[in-house]
Amino acid sequence: MKLFIDIGHPSYYLALRHFIRILSAKGHTFFITARDKDVTAELLNHDGIVWKNRGKGSKTVPGKLYHLVHSEVKLLPEVRRFAPDLFLSFSSPVAAHLAFILRKPCITLEDTECAQWVIRSYRPFSTVILTPVSFRNRMGKKHLCFTSFKELGNLHPKRFNPMEGETVQNGFLPEMPFILLRFTGSGALHDRHQRVLYEHEKIQIVLHLSRYARIYISSEEILSRELSSYAIPARAWEMHHIMTRASLFFGESATMAAEAAVLGIPSIYIDDRGRGYTDELEHKYGLLFRYPKSSSGIEQALNMAGRLLENTDTLNQWQNRRQLMLKEKTDFTDFLIGFVEHFPQSFSVLKDGEKEEHYPATL
């Protein structure tokens, strides 16, 4: 089978990395394109993936529209020559539009309800839309749910074995104990009208949490002079191995908050809206806490962080909660391989067996 995959975010590649590896070993071939966002290129190159760079994109809406059209026009002749049997992506209008032009099926994965502009741009052109069962919205007859999180595509214990000590191949070894912070940038369509943490709030968080442990910051944008000494000097592919050793995750990133949670690391997520999957990790499994991005919300989050860090049994409790979550969730990679290899029959089988309670009420 020939598959076209478009990758728009590092977390989307991580969710698909074992899917790509396993199907490649089975003889399937891939045409992979990616937007050069954050550490996407570093991860792809580290894994030896052959891929086509379609640029960094833009932070403005007109710039995003131009980049979208430019990418599709430039890619179309190459993709037509490759002649894929199936298109696959997380939340990619590029993949959906090219599939529609070439009259091929497109499977689109989604887990970000607030990305409404992006969803509207690919939904009419996708054959199937796959989301976690925790997804808050319904998207009609082409929508199917799976009982997993995309983060388990990379971090399921079948796939991920944390490196210990010097086995990180002379990479970064954090001082212990430590707290991992993540600050995001602006520019994503789903973050329109949403603010990032202000500089004084970042400093407040660092000063407060540094009472408990060493602070390391992963940041989407360049840190200020006041915070630059806290920047984590790790390579992108080391981050999850390092995360397994953290006492706490605290930050603005839904993806990294969920990654920490599924690894059994106490996770505090600062965001006004959240996601369906962070809601499930919080309210069903108790692995994550979300607080609004306000002065009172940050104060509540810091108070919760202090309670977690002062409790010597916190990490044991989180590992027990993680085991419960893993018992109830499927291996995302196994699910996706089975769905793709048996498509389109897999869609019909799952749709016929689908229960209404898999879909939460539409917001």
What average pLDDT score do residues 322-349 get? 95
pLDDT, one tens digit per residue, over 19-47 is 999 999 999 999 999 998 889 999 999 99
Report whether pLDDT(166) > 50.
Answer: no
Residues 134 and 277 sit within 8 Å (Cβ to Cβ): yes
Residue 165's closest CA among 156, 173, 155? 173
Q: Which domains does the chain have, with CATH numbers?
A: 2-156+331-358 (3.40.50.2000), 169-327 (3.40.50.2000)
Whole-model pTM: value is 0.91
Q: Which amino acid, one-letter code, is at 101? A: I
Specify the range with the lowest mean pLDDT, choosing from 72-81, 89-98, 187-196. 187-196
Question: Tokens in use for 158?
Answer: 């079948």
Report whether pLDDT(357) > 70.
Answer: no
Report whether pLDDT(354) > 80.
Answer: no
What per-residue confidence (pLDDT) applies to 133?
A: 95
How would you label 133-145 residue by residue, b for 16+ Cβ within 10 Å and e otherwise?
A: bbbbbebeebbbb
What average pLDDT score do residues 64-81 get? 90
On average, the pLDDT of the chain sits at: 91
Length, in residues, of the chain: 363
Report whether pLDDT(167) > 50.
Answer: no
Residue 338's closest CA among 79, 93, 130? 130
Report whether pLDDT(356) > 50.
Answer: no
- With H, G, I as helix, E, B as strand and everything else as coil, classify residue 1: coil
What per-residue confidence (pLDDT) applies to 37?
A: 84
